[in-house]
Amino acid sequence: MNTRIGTLVVSTALAGATLLTLVGCDNGLQAIAAPVAGTSVGTEIDDTVITSSVKSALLADADIRSFDFKVETRKGEVLLSGFVDNQAQLDRATATAQTVSGVKKVQNNVSLRATPTTVGNKIDASLITGKVKAALLADTRIKSFDIAVVTRKDEVQLSGFVNNQDQIDRAIEVARSVEGVRTVTNEMRIKQ
């Protein structure tokens, strides 16, 4: 066999192997395809790269790097969520995200803070965020890995791309039931 053809065969086989997931069972390892609703492996990788690039761009911008942004990407559409102090920072976050290669659209769901954040408020918000994430994980009807949680004082913001309206409604219901949560803002979107 020609060396070039042999290398191509091995490369193709390795590429195909990366599309499979190995799972354990009583009879040893079994390969199964890893399904991703409505996206290809290439799209998932591209979206991950875009998300990382947007996060890096936001961190590199001295005017907005100190803020807690959640960044999620689906098919090149970037969803920003979190809280900032003023409209200029909100606009700057959108402009910064739009400069990243591969970004097709930016949906900015960042909210303005009503009052400055204190260390005590930040700790309380972190505790509430943890409780909401745990409650979402515990609910079998929600694909909670698709949902990001940001908390400002006692206001919880849910964002991300989910499969359907039922998941949105259930996530809001679960978040509202967590002790310490006063309001829940929905910034979740249905996957296209």
* CA atoms of 185 and 175, how far apart (whole Å): 10
Q: Nearest Cα to 174, choosing from 125, 127, 140, 123?
A: 140
Q: Two tokens at 45?
A: 């990788």
Q: Nearest Cα to 73, choosing from 95, 30, 103?
A: 103
Q: Where do the structural domains in the chain lie, given as residue ranges?
A: 3-33, 41-190
User: Per CATH, which fold does 41-190 belong to?
Assistant: Histidine-containing Protein; Chain: A; (3.30.1340)
Write down the pTM of the prediction. Answer: 0.50
Pairing of strands 77-84, 28-33: unpaired
Q: How many residues would you count in the chain? A: 192
Q: Two tokens at 31?
A: 């390969």
DSSP 75: T
pLDDT at 16: 37
pLDDT tens for the chain, 192 residues long, are 444 333 333 333 333 333 333 334 344 444 333 444 555 667 678 888 998 999 888 888 887 866 677 888 988 999 888 878 788 888 888 899 999 999 999 988 887 776 655 656 567 788 899 999 999 999 988 877 888 898 887 889 998 888 899 999 999 999 999 999 999 999 888 887
Answer whether 155's CB lies under 8 Å from 128's CB: no
* CA atoms of 130 and 136, how far apart (whole Å): 10
